[in-house]
């Protein structure tokens, strides 16, 4: 007679999925959406086992469990706890005290639940499935199935040119023989010139066909051997994306508990495989399906995005997928879907909808997104950790390294004035006035070179160095300082990626250069940027000064005003001043009327959180993340709120067990 399982779960979707799984395995099931209903059904007809979610309405799961253990009739009822709230060893130990042998934290795998039930019922798990053959499909489909199901065992790949064995451990490829481009690992090394014909012959000889012999022969050092093995397996799997469709015979195996193999970067294999071998027809079909949809990061985005190595253009595309625009709007006139988007869709790293949607948040501590857009290079989830400052790319105390280039570098703009230092100074300053930062170094926005920028910057600064100053006095010396200040400002702007991008944006709308209209606006940006760096360094007085200068220049910029309010709020000297705290709140409200920005909402949320107004703080953090899913302070605030609630739950949990 099949075992009867009662599922006590208030989430209808989860309960339905559990019920379907158990019924497919030949069990009978019953559902209860709250604790009182579950208790009444157990009393009326005890099941063979209970799957219990702890956070049940009407009667908490712990209270239900206590009542069951107090009755002789249900004292020994097998119980499997499933919970997404009470996580950690302390809860597991407490549950064991009430006779619970299996404690699963959501999300869990179907195999884990079935194993827990068999253990609770005292039955044996069904035998491992016999090898099964899949339908014919391309390599990326087979690899995706193994990767997402965490398959352990061997795929016998049946291709038009023969069979290949691909071995997996928890969904990760660990070996392939033979390859798709090379017959073996030794053939791969031989073709690349890393093995001689004699060495290759010995490598493939009977009895010595193993990788370690390459170290013994002195062909590769052991770290190089590991690196080459990864390179071989990665390149062969990428080449497999170009192979014709094939069938796969799955031969499952059991892996040792806790075993972690060093293996290849699977998400990046999908990305590289699609970059090199994705058929245009498939790109176009998926593009037609998604172009009118809104895309935003899903849970898997944070699991896999740091495994990809992307270009700056692709990082900017990622940054635009925030759920507020359709994919077509993000891609512009692109006709074929970029391989990056195909990768994101294949690995379910993005969600899509016909309507705007909010990005998901990571469900684990996330320090940095390596593929953040240049406008948001550092994504720190701990506000106390300093961000990288915007410093020059060249140490001013060092002599510039000689520039090696294939093209001859044009000489720097000639200085007039002959041998008369004072005349040269005045004519150089007159020549620089009215020039934008590119023109200062004899370049244009479209023909920019960082090497040329360095060369001409150091040429100008050496030309007006200490020797020139020694020959000048009074007003002329002051003019030299003005030249050096202007040239240094231009260099600092163009040598910093973020500053350069913002400067380029300004150049598109109005003339900005040395002594031109628009300089004030740009200098406000520079002051604000400096103030934000001082904030991260916790230099509160300097931050306040720089941000106040930015607000004086551009008083209608809400972002500058919000950061100024935050610098005043965080300054320890203002903590005891009620007047300053009130001023800060007024400034922040004013900032939000000027610009409803993510930073302002995050600052407001933290002030409310520190005042103990948790619900209001959560609402402000949520607003911030809807505007910018990468807003570090809002993420940190929500995490601290969750930790605070977890502590409160722990207290409740302890009181229940008493």
The model's pLDDT over 573-593, given as tens digits with 9 standing for 90+, comes to: 887 777 788 888 888 888 888
CA distance linking residue 455 with residue 467, whole number of Å: 19
pLDDT in tens, 125-141: 554 444 556 678 899 99
Domain identity same for 245 and 147: yes
In the predicted model, is pLDDT for residue 5 greater than 90? Answer: yes
Neighbours of 622 (CB within 10 A): 16
Residue ranges of E strands in 465-551 = none
The secondary structure of 22-61 as a DSSP string is HHHTT-EEEEESSHHHHHHHHHHS--SEEEEESS-SSS-H
Domain identity same for 50 and 109: yes
| Mean pLDDT value across residues 269-274 | 92
pLDDT of residue 498: 61
Judge whether 371 and 477 are in contact, CB under 8 Å.
Answer: no
- Burial of 463 (C-beta count, 10 Å sphere; 0-12/13-18/19+): middle
3-state secondary structure 266-300: HHHHHHHHHHHHCCHHHHHHHHHHHCCCEEEECHH
Q: How high is the mean pLDDT of the chain?
A: 79
CA distance linking residue 172 with residue 260, whole number of Å: 10
Total residue count of the chain as it appears in this document = 658
> Is 527 within a domain?
yes
More confident residue, 618 or 496: 618
Range of the domain at 147: 132-264
pLDDT in tens, 29-67: 999 999 889 998 998 889 999 999 988 888 888 888 888
> Is 503 within a domain?
no
| Mean pLDDT value across residues 333-356 | 87
> Is 556 within a domain?
yes
Domain identity same for 44 and 153: no
Domain identity same for 178 and 80: no
**Residue 273 banded pLDDT, cuts 50, 70, 90:** very high
Judge whether 35 and 63 are in contact, CB under 8 Å.
Answer: yes
Domain identity same for 643 and 536: yes
Identify the three-state secondary structure at position 454. Answer: helix
Domain boundary (64, 96, 121) is at 121
> Is 100 within a domain?
yes
| Mean pLDDT value across residues 265-277 | 91
In the predicted model, is pLDDT for residue 499 greater than 80? Answer: no
Total domain count for the chain? 5
Strands 79-83 and 49-53: parallel
| Mean pLDDT value across residues 495-506 | 69
Which of 358, 442, 443 minimizes the C-alpha distance to 624?
A: 358
> Is 365 within a domain?
yes
Domain identity same for 226 and 290: no
Domain identity same for 34 and 67: yes
pLDDT in tens, 175-226: 898 889 888 888 888 888 888 888 888 888 765 457 778 888 888 888 888 8
> Is 255 within a domain?
yes
Judge whether 79 and 49 are in contact, CB under 8 Å.
Answer: yes
> Is 225 within a domain?
yes
CA distance linking residue 480 with residue 625, whole number of Å: 48
Structure-token pair, residue 602: 């995050």
Of the chain, the percentage scoring pLDDT greater than 90 comes to 16
Neighbours of 78 (CB within 10 A): 21
In the predicted model, is pLDDT for residue 517 greater than 60? Answer: no
More confident residue, 173 or 496: 173
> Is 34 within a domain?
yes
Q: Which residues pair with 249 in a beta bridge?
A: 133, 156
In the predicted model, is pLDDT for residue 156 greater than 50? Answer: yes
- What CATH number has the domain bearing residue 584? 1.25.40.10
Residues whose CB falls within 8 Å of the CB of residue 159, separated by 6 or more in sequence, listed in order: 243, 244, 246
Domain boundary (94, 121, 148) is at 121
* CA atoms within 13 A of residue 377's CA, in its CB half-sphere: 10
Domain identity same for 149 and 39: no
Domain identity same for 313 and 335: yes
Provide the whole-model pTM: 0.43
Domain boundary (212, 234, 264) is at 264
In the predicted model, is pLDDT for residue 507 greater than 70? Answer: no
CA distance linking residue 48 with residue 71, whole number of Å: 16
**Residue 513 banded pLDDT, cuts 50, 70, 90:** very low
pLDDT in tens, 74-127: 888 999 999 877 777 777 877 888 888 788 887 778 888 888 888 888 765 554
pLDDT of residue 547: 86
Domain identity same for 68 and 52: yes
More confident residue, 397 or 254: 254
Structure-token pair, residue 40: 């009444």
Domain identity same for 20 and 88: yes
pLDDT of residue 8: 93
Domain identity same for 361 and 385: no
In the predicted model, is pLDDT for residue 551 greater than 60? Answer: yes
pLDDT of residue 248: 92
Identify the three-state secondary structure at position 593. Answer: helix
């Amino acid at each position: 007679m099949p075992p009867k399982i009662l599922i006590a779960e208030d989430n209808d979707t989860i309960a339905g999925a559990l019920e379907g799984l158990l019924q497919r395995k030949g069990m009978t099931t019953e559902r209860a959406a709250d604790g009182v209903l579950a208790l009444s059904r157990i009393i009326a007809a005890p099941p063979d086992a209970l799957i219990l979610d702890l956070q049940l309405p009407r009667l908490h799961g712990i209270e239900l469990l206590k009542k069951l253990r107090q009755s002789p009739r249900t004292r020994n009822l097998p119980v499997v706890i499933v919970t997404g709230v009470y996580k950690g060893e302390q809860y597991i130990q407490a549950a064991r005290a009430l006779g619970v042998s299996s404690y699963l934290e959501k999300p869990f795998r179907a195999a884990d639940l079935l194993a827990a039930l068999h253990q609770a019922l005292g039955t044996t798990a069904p035998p491992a499935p016999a090898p099964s053959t899949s339908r014919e499909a391309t390599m990326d489909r087979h690899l995706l199935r193994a990767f997402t199901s965490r398959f352990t065992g061997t795929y016998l790949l049946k291709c038009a040119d023969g069979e290949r064995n691909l071995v997996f451990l928890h969904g990760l490829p660990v070996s392939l023989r033979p390859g798709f481009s090379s017959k073996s690992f030794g053939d791969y090394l031989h073709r690349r010139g890393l093995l001689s014909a004699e060495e290759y012959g010995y490598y493939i000889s009977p009895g010595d066909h193993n990788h370690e012999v390459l170290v013994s022969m002195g062909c590769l050092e052991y770290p190089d051997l590991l690196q080459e093995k990864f390179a071989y397996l990665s390149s062969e799997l990428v080449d497999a994306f170009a192979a014709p469709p094939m069938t796969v015979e799955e031969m499952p195996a059991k892996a040792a508990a806790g075993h972690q193999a060093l293996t290849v970067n699977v998400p990046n294999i999908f990305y590289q495989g699609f970059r090199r071998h994705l058929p245009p027809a498939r790109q176009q079909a998926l593009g037609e399906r998604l172009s009118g949809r809104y895309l935003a990061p899903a849970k898997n985005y944070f699991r896999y995005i740091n495994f990809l190595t992307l270009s700056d253009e692709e990082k900017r595309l990622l940054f635009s997928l925030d759920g507020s625009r359709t994919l077509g709007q993000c891609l512009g006139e692109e006709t074929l879907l970029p391989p990056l988007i195909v990768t994101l869709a294949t690995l379910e790293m993005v969600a899509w909808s016909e309507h705007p949607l909010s990005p998901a948040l990571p469900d684990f501590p996330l320090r940095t997104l390596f593929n953040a857009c240049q406008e948001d290079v550092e994504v720190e989830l701990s506000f106390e950790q300093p961000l990288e400052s915007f410093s020059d790319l060249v140490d001013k105390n060092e002599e510039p390294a000689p520039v090696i280039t294939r093209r001859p570098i044009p000489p720097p703009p000639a200085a007039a004035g002959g041998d008369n230092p004072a005349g040269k100074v005045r004519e150089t300053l007159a020549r620089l006035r009215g020039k934008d930062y590119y023109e200062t170094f004899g370049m244009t926005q479209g023909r920019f070179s960082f090497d040329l920028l360095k060369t001409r910057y150091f040429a100008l600064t050496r030309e007006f160095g200490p020797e020139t100053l020694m020959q000048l006095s009074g007003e002329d010396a002051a003019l030299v300082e003005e030249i050096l200040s202007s040239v240094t400002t231009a260099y600092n702007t163009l040598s910093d990626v973020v500053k350069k991008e913002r400067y380029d944006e300004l150049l598109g709308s109005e003339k900005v250069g040395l002594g031109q209209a628009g300089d004030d606006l740009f200098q406000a940006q520079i002051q604000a940027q400096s103030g934000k760096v001082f904030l991260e360094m916790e230099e509160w007085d300097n931050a306040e000064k720089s941000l106040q200068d930015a607000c004086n220049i551009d008083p209608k910029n809400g972002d500058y005003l919000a950061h100024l309010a935050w610098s005043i709020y965080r300054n320890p000297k203002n903590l005891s001043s009620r007047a300053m705290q009130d001023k800060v709140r007024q400034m922040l409200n004013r900032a939000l009327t000027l610009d409803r920005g993510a930073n302002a909402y995050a600052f407001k949320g933290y002030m409310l959180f520190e005042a103990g107004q948790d619900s209001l703080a959560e609402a402000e953090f949520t607003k911030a993340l809807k505007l910018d899913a990468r807003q570090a302070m809002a993420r940190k605030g929500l995490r601290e709120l969750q930790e605070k609630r977890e502590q409160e739950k722990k207290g409740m949990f302890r009181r229940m067990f008493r």
